[in-house]
Structure formats: structure tokens, C-alpha cells
Chain A
Amino acid sequence: MKKLTIMGAAMLAGTVLAGHASAQELNVICSNEQDWCDLMASAFEDETGIDVSMVRKSTGETLAQVRAEAGNPKIDVWWGGTGDPHLIASAEGLTQPSGADTSELLGWAVNLAEISGGRTIGIHAGALGIAYNTEILAEKGVEPPACWRDLTNPDYAGEIQVANPNSSGTAYTELATLVQIFGEDDGFRLLAEIGENVNTYTKSGSAPSKAAARGETGISIGFMHDMVKLAKAGFPLAIVSPCEGTGYEVGGVSIIEGAQNFDEAVQWVNFVLSAEAQSLGPQVDVFNVPSNSNATVPPESPALESIKLIDYDFATYGSSETRARLLARWDEEVKPAE
């Protein structure tokens, strides 16, 4: 339908304007959930009259595409997805500052903008958590975990699933979180001990929670907003906020360097940072925490106040050197022997 409308509009514009000034347009890659992408695109079109062409791709795929297109980008703005790839893109000079106003935003969102020199700004946050399948644990007669340390319990042997940090940003956040809570040496020791109970290191960060939802594994580690979504869909999943505290991700929005529609892209950034736009999330089951302090928070979303959040150091743990070092150490000490 949208296509038909656009085609009709284009034909009309063609006949009226006879090839002069073309309608404003904007190309967006969205790394959020599909429904959330669609909703924001149409809300933005309603508000500004700018034609939005949007496609959804995962963060890793987007970063690969932005890299390959460097110099002649076909995308104007990249919205959503964990902050780390956005920070990498800004460090590689693939994105440019938008100059958007960050005064209404929460501290962690401004923090992201400061680290990147304004090239990426925080749009929402999601905390890391543990989920367990209530049926499986009850059947096995074992207590659910409450802390990171509990995961070393031999009762959970072969029941824990977590992603591989080499392929998944979620798992890298978990690795960096444990390192920040327990210190590097103890953190890796803990990871290795948990590793005794891990049945699979999946490739994708969201896979473990889906497996836990279906009972393919007992316990998963991942982002809480993914877990909330699965639990709300009807799966027997319970969510735990670890007692030692937990890390979080901050989703970002960035304008691509050399964007062909820079002004429209700036409008998009301002739009997605606004309280009105961020308050739309619950309509499509988006349960992460919005970055605008005036936006309304969905009641189901894991309220960040009730979760013991650590002071996550994005500048250090987002940098390529730290990342490469920690991943090498993970391969050495945690990865199952080959």
C-alpha cells in the first residue's frame, strides 16, 4: 500500500512539478524490532512530510554495509542497535556529528554522545539479565539463580546457554560486565566456572533466551527487554536481575558520513530523541528504557531504578584494543577446548 501511495505521489509530483525540486526523502537503516521501525517511520512521515525509506538490518550487518559503502553511502541515518557498533563506526570516521540537543536526555545517553564526539547519541537502554524456564527448573527440582555467582552451581550443569562474545554484542556486554564487577582475573575465572555449566555458546545474542523460552535450555543470559517480550508472548520464562549488579547496553542513533540528505537526517535524530516519539514504544511491545527523561516508561519494562546497575565504562570497554584483548583472553580461558 505504501508503495502504491508513493508511486501515486511520485506520479502526481512528476506531473505537477515537471521534474523540478523533488520531494524530501530520507534513507534509514533500523536495527530495532520491525514493528518499532515501522511505527516510527510513519510517525515521522506524519510529522515532517519527509518520505522515509526504511529497511531493518541487524547491527553487525549494518556496520558491515556502512563500511563497504564508505565514500558513497546510500544510507543517511542508522537508528537503533547496541551502542558499541555505533561507537566503532564513529571511531572509524564512518559517521558524523548531528549537533542534536541532548539537554533533556538521561546521563547514559549523553555519555554516549560525549564519548563519540556527538556522532552517536543514546536512544534507549536495556539491562543485562538472567532468564530461566520455570517448568524445566521445577521438573529438575533446582532453585532458580539470583546472582551471577549462582550460575556456577553444579545443579545447572548443561542447562545454561549464552552467546559467544566473538559473534554477539550481547555476550560481549556480559563479558565486560563481569570483568567490571569482579575485576579482570576473577571475572574470567567466574566465566570459566560458569562455562562448566554452559551447553552451547550460540552465535546470536538473542538465541539463548529463545531456547530457554522453548525449554531447549534451562537458563539463559541476555538482554532483559528480549526476555520480557518472550514472557509476555506466553512462554514460561522468569527474569532475574543479578544481585551483584548488572551491565547494560545503550542503543544509538548516528548520521552516516557523507549522507545525501543531511538536513532530513538531523530532523530524524531530533525526532527519535523527543519525548513524544519515545513514548510510543509500548504500543508495539518495546520494553527498553527511553533516553528522554520526559518520555513515559512502559510499566512492564524492567525499571532501571529497581535494577542494580553498574557504572558501565563504555569508553574503555567499547574501544577496539580492550575488546580485542578481552576476546583473546576469552578464547584462551573460557572457550571450550578444541
Chain B
Amino acid sequence: MRRTTSLWLLIGLTGYAVLPWYMLRRDFWSFRWLADFGEPASAPALFLVLNFERFWLAPAGLALLLAWLLLRLKNPVRRARLIAITAFTGLFMTAFQGLVIVRAGPRAFGNLLEFGGMQDGQVGFGAGAFVTLIALLFVLTTAISAMGKGRGDAFVVGLIGLIISMVGVFVFFPVLHILIRGFEVDGGYSVLQFFPRFFSADIWGIGCLAGGSCGPGLNSVILAIMTGATTTALGLAFALIFTRTDFRAKRLLRLLTVIPIVTPPFVIGLALILLFGRTGAVTELFAELFGIEKTRWIYGFGGIYLAQVLSFTPIAFLVMIGVVEGVSPSMEEASQTLNADRWQTFRYVSLPLMRPGLANAFLLGFIESLADFGNPLVLGGNFNVLSTEIYFSIVGTVADPAKTAILSIALLSLTLGAFLVQRRWVGKKSYATVTGKGDAGRHAALSKGVKALCYATALPWAAFTAVVYSMIIFGSFVKLWGIDNSFTLAHYIRAFGIKITDNGWRFSGVAWDSYFTTLTIASIAAPLTAILGLATAYLLVRQKFVGREVFEFSTMLSFAIPGTVIGVSYIMAFNFPPIELTGTSIILIIVFVFRNMPVGVRGGIASMSQLDKSLDEASITLGANSFTTVRRVIAPLLGPAILAALTYSFVRAITSVSAVIFLVSAKHNMATAFIVGRVENGEFGLAIAYSAVLIITMITAIILLQLLIGKRKLRRIDRIERSA
């Protein structure tokens, strides 16, 4: 403990005495702050306390100093306990002063805090504050582990502490800003008034059972259940075709299952309108052939459902493929040895072992559908769902923060419900099948019926996806999609033109700026998301600690809240000290990391539940610590989960719209915000050409990632039983 703690204390001291405490107006990496060391704006905390009477910054430094002195204590338990208390106090005091003393001076306890320079206020935390706080956090967790918590494993306790504080700061803190409004009544707060508003028929109306229309709450639930179930079924069918059949065009199929998530949402909506709208190609064809009346069925439940299934099936597939691959062949062989036929093996052995995958895929589909905003906006018609209602309660002609909060709480309770049901269904059984023991069997082939069913569901779907995407590519090369179908390259030249002049060449297209920003931010956010998500999954599956279920749900929170709410709450929370991030690219990265992390968590949990604990134990018995075990044993076995998390977070950082719209700034504009603006302006050709380029970019990235990560080797050879 002494060595770890000393190391963190040293780091903390650097943050406190060398790095600039406050955020800088200019770039940190220019190191201009070294030159302006003596000025309060770029001085370290130690200097501020000594020279500028900012004594309220002292507790952090004192805590570091005290902890260092306490290291000398002989009694290890007392030492740990005292250091923990010291570090916690330092953290708490620093956070407290940051929240209270803002730009305009103290915002609470004004009368008590009149002395010193407090009235002048202060700006947000900078590099120094960040490093100091992180160091104090790890001193705290190291001390806690030394007290014997978490089986004395400093790595595990540190990880838990880090994730909890990050989720607290970047999920709970902002979201509370919005949710608290739900309890607001004229001039105060009331809990009692909340319930009648929450349970009003405006949200939960059941008129559709009697032939009318339902409230948005019920609409959302029905839609989400349908979407969740369908995407899970399709995901399973695709995964089975991949792992259990000798289907020839697997690569092509793989591409088709991935493309939909790499598509900005409104593009799918637009393509569906052009196919199935009242004047759509398919509608016209059917009207001509069979005399079917042209209707607008696509605007409403049908259209949203179709678009969502199209968009979210790949997510289910990404979760399912890892799980289906992981089911051990020896179990299937054992079943067959015991004289079960292929159907029985599938039904009673393989399928039950896939439960964590099915449950997690359904949960993701359900939540995605609830929070989806782009598809209902384009295809909703008169069918109202919670996410669009929330959006327009924020940006509509009459903004209603209380309604926003209540609808968001409704949405969150639906998520919580689905989460609990999911847990019950998975139950406490063990799904571990990757045990590290000799496992050279071959996967049972599918029975004829199951195979036929898989083909019958997945292949038409794949064909449909292919049609939709050829339409999109086609749309980017014609003058006016659907009206004037003559060939042109004008859209691409406008968006991605490169001018060659005497002085060399330059990016003259209008899309380049946002394209580069988007790629940079997505490439930074993706690995962070994957690491955070999988680390969380590791803790949830492998470690036992108090409040684990609450912790698990809290990691799902940011995913379940519609992006619009997250966007606005991020402005409310991070436009003011202590954490001032609006207008930077950091806020975009953070919002992506915390919004997409749950996919990493779900995928990680699903895959990790299959890895037998004996693998960890073997590694630990051989003298490795838990960090080494994660790095050398668990991580390599999680290939598909890592790939899924990386892919998903990279792609979502590029395609998500709703959260981003409030957070983009002039210097950091994102591709989707740009595309939405163009669509709003009626420039479909340009928007679609840009989307097509983004799609190709993302597919390239995914292929590169796949090559980079490679295929995990669970057994010497992955064999599938030959269909006899």
C-alpha cells in the first residue's frame, strides 16, 4: 500500500504545485502557462493559496500532505483508516468549494463567505485540479482496499471508485438538473403534485384499445416491446447462420447486418418514404399490379417500427454473435451423445445457454427504441412517442421544463422496469461455458426446421436492407432524388471538393470541416468507451460489492435518457464552474463515452458470463494479480465484445443526432448536425452524399478494427458438424 499511495501522492502534488489549477482560456498543450506561471489565471493551487489568499483551495493540498505524514504510522489498519478519512475530506472540500464559489462569487451562504477573494469568483477546474482530484481519489480507494474491503485488491477498489465517480459526475450530476424540475411547482417544490401529473392520461392514455389513439407512454412501450423482440429474433437468426451453418455469402451478410447502424437515422426514414410512401416506388408498383390503394401507412406505427427494426437489428446481432459463438460444443456434443436430436439439443441446451445474450439484446433493443428520436420525427405522423414529446417540450413553441422532466421520468421508469424484468429472467444460473478445459468438440448443426426458419427470417431481411441501401447510394448520384433522376456528381463535389491551385491544394468542399472534427472525436471517444464499458462489465460480473445492482442500473441511465434531455442537461451542468466544458470538443467526447458505454457494458456482461471463473482463479493461483488477469486472460477472450464496443461507440459518435445538437459549437461542428441542417434546408442530395461518404468511412473503420483485433481463439478449430 505504501508504494502505491506514495506514487499517487506524488502525482497529486504535481497537480497541486505545478499544473495550472484553473481551466485555461488557451490550449493547455501550448504550454504558454509555464511562462505565465505567476498570474492567478494560470498558477497552480499552491501558489494561489500562498500568494493570492485563495485559502479555500488549501484543503486539497493539506490532505495530500497529511496523507503523506500518515503513511509513517505503524498500525496498518489505523493508517489506512486515517488516510481514507483525510483523502475523502480533501475531495469533499475541494468539490464543495468548486460548486459554491462560481464565476460570480459564492452562490450560496453568501453572508458567511464575504472575506478574502471569494467575492471575485473563480472559473472552472483545470488540469491541476483534475490531476489533484484523481490522485486523492486513488489514495482514498487504495486506503479503502488496505482496510480489507474488496478482498484487499487495490486495483478492483480503484476501478470501482473511478467508475462510480465518473458516472456520478457525468451522468447523475447533469441529469439531476433536469429531473428536479419535475417536482417544481410555482415558486417551490412539491412531491405530492408530481404523482397526478405523472399518472395523467396525457401520458398513459389507453384510447387505442378502443380504436382511438393512446398516450405517448403506452405507444412507446408497445413500440419498444415489438422492436426489442423483433431485433432479438433477427439478431439470433443472423448469429446462428454465421456460426452454425455453411452459408456461402457470410461476408456479404455480415456487411448488410452492420450497415444500418452506420447510417444517420433520417436517411433510413427518407429511403423508406421513397419506397413505401404514398408516391413511393413499391407503393406505385403494388397499386399498378394489384390495384392496392395508395395509403400513408408508413407514417405512424408501421413506419417507425420498420425503421427501428432496420436500425437496431445490428446491435442485437453484435451482442448475439459473441454469445452464440461462446456456447461450448462439448455441451452440445454431450447432449447428442445422450441421444438428443439436433432440435432437442438446440432447444434444451444451446438456447438456454444463450439466455444472457437474448436478454441483453432485447434490453438494448427496447431501450434504443424508447430513446430513438430520429425515426419517429421523420415517420411519426400522428403517432406520438415519449422521445419526440420530450424534444418538443424543450424546443416547442411553449417550453415546459416540468413536462420535460415528467416525461423523462416516465421514460426512465420504463427502462428500469425492463431492466428488472430482464434480470429476473436471466436469473442466477450459471452460463459459463468457456472453461479453459479441453474443448475440441464441434458445434451441433442446426436442425432442418431451425435452419429453414433462420434463413426464412434473415435472408429476406438482408435483401430488404440491400434494397434500402442501394436506393440511398443511388440518391446521392442523382440531381433530385425521386423527381429528376439524371446522373450527377455535383453533390459530392460540393461536399468534398478539393481545389488545386497554384499554391498547392486545399479542401474546398463544405463538409470537410465537420467531417474531420467528427472523425477525430469519434476516434478518441471509441476506445475510451470500450475500456470504460468493459471495465464496468468486469466489475459487475466478477466482483461482488455492496450496491452492485444500483451501480449496474446507474450505468444504464445515460443510455435510457433521450439524447435531447442529455444535451440540455449537459449545458445546464457544464456551462458553469466547477466543470466548464461547453463549446469545447471535450464535452462531445464525454457525452459520447457516457451515452454509449452501456453497450460496452451489456456486451461485456453477456460475453463475460460465459467465461468460467476457474480461468481467473487459475491465473490468480499462479500468482498474477487481478490487473494481470484482466489483461492476459480475460481481455483476449473478449475479442468480439471489445470489437462490438469499439465499433458501436465509434459509429454512434458519428451518427447520433439528438444529444449533439445542443452541444456542437462553431469550432466543433459534427457531421450529423451539419446533415440535419441541410435536410431542414431541403438539400437532400448533399445530405445523402455526405451520409454515403460517412457510411463508407465507417465500414472501412470497422473492417480495419476487425483486422486489428482479430478473431479470438476459443478452441483449436471452430468446426461445425457437417450436415449429413
B484 touches A234 (CB 8 A): yes
Contacts of A204 in B (CB 8 A): 377, 680
Pair A60/B396 contact, Cβ less than 8 Å: yes
**Nearest Cβ distance between residue A243 and chain B, in whole angstroms?**
27
Asked if A49 is an interface residue, CB under 8 A from chain B, the answer is no
B122 CB to nearest chain A CB (Å): 13
Interchain CA distance A233-B681 in the complex, whole Å? 11
- Min CB distance B713 to A, Å, is 44
Tell me if A337 counts as interface (CB < 8 A to partner B): yes
**A250 on interface, CB distance cutoff 8 Å:** no
Residue of A nearest to B395 (CB): A60
Mask, B383-398, CB within 8 Å of A = 1, is: 0000010001011111
Known A214-B277, A215-B278, A216-B277; contact A63-B399, beta-carbon cutoff 8 A = yes
Q: Is the CB of B273 within 8 A of A1?
A: no
Cα–Cα, bound, A55→B323 (Å):
44
B335 is an interface residue with CB less than 8 A from chain A = no
Give chain A nearest CB distance to B702 CB in angstroms: 27
Scan A49-68; emit 1 where CB is below 8 A from any B CB, else 0: 00011111110110111011
Interface contact B397-A53, CB-CB below 8 Å? no
Decide if B395 touches A27 in the complex (CB within 8 Å).
Answer: no
A203 to B506, CA, bound (A): 40
For residue A110, give the distance in angstroms from its CB to the closest CB of chain B.
25
| 18 chain-A/chain-B pairs, Cβ below 8 angstroms | A1-B506, A19-B32, A34-B677, A38-B510, A53-B665, A56-B673, A58-B680, A61-B662, A64-B394, A64-B662, A65-B568, A69-B575, A72-B575, A74-B665, A206-B680, A216-B279, A229-B682, A323-B397
Contacts of B480 in A (CB 8 A): 233-235
Task: Point out the residues of chain A lying under 8 angstroms from B674, CB to CB.
Answer: 34
Bitwise interface map of B from 464 to 486 toward A, beta carbon under 8 Å scored 1, else 0: 00000000000000011011100
Q: Which residues of B contact A (CB under 8 A)?
A: 26, 30, 32, 35-36, 103-104, 205, 207, 212-215, 273, 277-279, 296, 299, 377, 380-382, 388, 392, 394-399, 479-480, 482-484, 506-508, 510, 512-513, 516, 568, 571-572, 575-576, 580, 582-583, 661-662, 664-667, 669, 673-674, 677-678, 680-683
Q: Does A122 contact B (CB under 8 A)?
A: no
Q: Looking at the complex, which of A96-104, A162-170, A262-270, A288-296 is the stretch in contact with chain B? A: A162-170
**Within 8 Å CB of B507, what residues of A?**
1
Residues in chain A near residue B582, CB distance under 8 A: 69, 74
Whether B682 lies near A210 (C-beta < 8 A) is yes
Q: Which residue of A lies closest to B382 (CB)?
A: A200
- Do the beta carbons of B395 and A64 come within 8 Å of each other? yes
Cross-interface CB contact of A327 among B215, B380, B397, B568, cutoff 8 Å:
B397
Report how far A34 CA is from B205 CA in the complex, Å: 40
* Given A19-B32, A69-B575, A1 and B512 contact (CB-CB distance below 8 Å): yes
A14 → chain B closest CB, angstroms: 7
B392, A167: Cβ atoms closer than 8 Å = yes
* B397/A165 in contact, CB under 8 A: yes
Interface flags for A319-338 (1: CB within 8 Å of B; 0: not) read 01001100100000000111
Contact residues of A with B, CB < 8 Å? 1-4, 14, 19, 27-28, 33-35, 38, 52-58, 60-61, 63-65, 67-69, 71-72, 74, 84, 165-169, 172, 199-204, 206, 210, 213-217, 226, 229-230, 233-236, 320, 323-324, 327, 336-338
In the complex, A210 Cα to B512 Cα: how many Å? 27
CB–CB A214/B397 < 8 A: no
The chain A residue with its CB closest to the CB of B516 is A3
A2 proximity list for chain B (CB < 8 A): 513
What is the distance, in angstroms, from B460's C-beta to the closest C-beta of chain A? Answer: 26
Residues of chain B within 8 A of A206, CB atoms compared: 680, 682
Additional 20 contacts, C-beta under 8 A, given A14-B32, A235-B480: A3-B513, A19-B32, A19-B35, A28-B666, A34-B683, A53-B667, A55-B664, A60-B397, A61-B662, A64-B394, A65-B571, A65-B662, A68-B572, A168-B397, A199-B296, A214-B277, A216-B277, A230-B682, A327-B397, A337-B212
Residues of B contacting A337 with CB < 8 Å? 212
The interface residues of chain B lying within 8 Å CB-to-CB of A217 are 278
- A338-B213 in contact given A71-B576, A172-B397 (Cβ < 8 Å): yes
With A166-B398, A203-B377 given, is the CB distance from A214 to B279 under 8 Å? yes
Residue among B279, B381, B399 making CB contact with A64, cutoff 8 Å: B399
Give the distance in Å from the alpha carbon of A58 to the alpha carbon of B26 in the complex.
Answer: 29
Are the C-beta atoms of B680 and A167 separated by less than 8 Å? no
Residue of A nearest to B280 (CB): A216
Instruction: Flag if A215 contacts B665 (CB, 8 Å).
Output: no
Contacting residue for B278 out of A74, A202, A216, CB 8 A: A216
**Separation in Å of the B36 CB from the closest CB of chain A?**
7
Residues of chain B with a CB closer than 8 A to A57's CB? 661, 673
Task: Give the distance to chain B from A290, nearest Cβ to Cβ, in Å.
Answer: 19
- The residues of B that contact A226 with a CB separation of less than 8 Å are 682
Q: How far is the CA of A1 from the CA of B497 in the complex (A)?
A: 11
Partner of B479, one of A3, A200, A234: A234
Partner of B273, one of A33, A214, A327: A214
- The reply to whether B273 and A216 form a contact with Cβ atoms under 8 Å apart is yes
Could you say which residues of chain A place their CB within 8 Å of the CB of B572? 68
A200, B35: Cβ atoms closer than 8 Å: no
B100 to chain A, nearest CB (A): 15
A72 touches B576 (CB 8 A): yes
Question: Bound state CA distance, A111 and B83, in angstroms?
Answer: 67
Complex-state Cα separation, A307 to B568, whole angstroms: 40
| A27: nearest chain-B partner, CB-CB | B666
Do A55 and B669 form a contact, CB below 8 Å, given A63-B399, A69-B575, A74-B583?
yes
Cβ distance A35 to chain B, nearest Cβ, rounded Å: 8
Contacts of A14 in B (CB 8 A): 30, 32
Q: A residues within 8 A CB of B205?
A: 338
What are the residues of chain B within 8 A of A203 when measuring CB–CB? 377, 380, 388, 392
- Evaluate contact between B568 and A64: CB separation under 8 angstroms: yes
B677 to chain A: which residues have CB within 8 Å? 34, 56
**In the complex, what residues of A have CB within 8 A of residue B580's CB?**
72
Q: Is the CB of B399 within 8 A of A67?
A: yes
Alpha-carbon distance A167/B582, docked complex (angstroms) = 26
From B104, B483, B681, contact of A34 by CB (8 A):
B681
Q: In the complex, which residue of chain B has the Cβ closest to the Cβ of A38?
A: B510
The one of B212, B576, B667, B683 in contact with A338, judged by C-beta atoms closer than 8 angstroms, is B212
Q: Whole-angstrom distance between the alpha carbons of A63 and B667 in the complex? A: 20
Decide: B666 and A167 in contact? CB cutoff 8 A.
no
Q: B666: which A residues are within 8 A, CB to CB?
A: 27-28, 52-55
CB B425 to nearest CB in A, in angstroms, measures 33
Cα-based distance from A168 to B391 in the complex (angstroms): 12
Q: Are B103 and A72 in contact (CB under 8 A)?
A: yes
CA distance in complex: A56, B676 (Å): 10
CA distance A54 to B508 in the complex (A): 18
Contact A68:B575 (CB < 8 A) given known A53-B667, A55-B665, A214-B273: yes
Contact status B571-A68, CB under 8 Å: yes
Q: How far is the CB of A131 from chain B (nearest CB, A)?
A: 13
B398 & A323 in contact (Cβ 8 Å cutoff): yes
Expressed in whole angstroms, the minimum distance between the Cβ of A194 and any Cβ of chain B is 15
- Which residues of the partner chain B approach A74 to less than 8 Å between Cβ atoms? 575, 582-583, 665
- Cα A200 to Cα B666 with chains together (Å): 35
- Within 8 Å CB of A64, what residues of B? 394-395, 399, 568, 662
**B279 contacts across to A, CB distance below 8 A:** 214-216
A51 to chain B: closest CB distance in Å? 10
Interface core residue of A58, A233, A320, A338 (most chain B CB under 10 Å)? A338
Q: Do B388 and A200 touch (CB < 8 A)?
A: no
CB distance from B481 to the nearest CB of A (A): 9
On chain A, the residues within 8 Å of B273 by CB distance are 214, 216
A166-B583 contact in complex given A33-B681, A55-B664, A61-B661, C-beta closer than 8 Å? no
Would you give the shortest CB distance from B108 to chain A, in whole angstroms? 15
Closest to B278 in A: A216
- Nearest to A92 among chain B residues (CB) is B399
List the A side residues contacting B683 at CB < 8 Å: 34
List of 9 A-B pairs having minimum Cβ-Cβ separation, nearest first: A60-B395, A53-B666, A68-B571, A215-B279, A167-B392, A55-B666, A167-B396, A74-B583, A200-B381
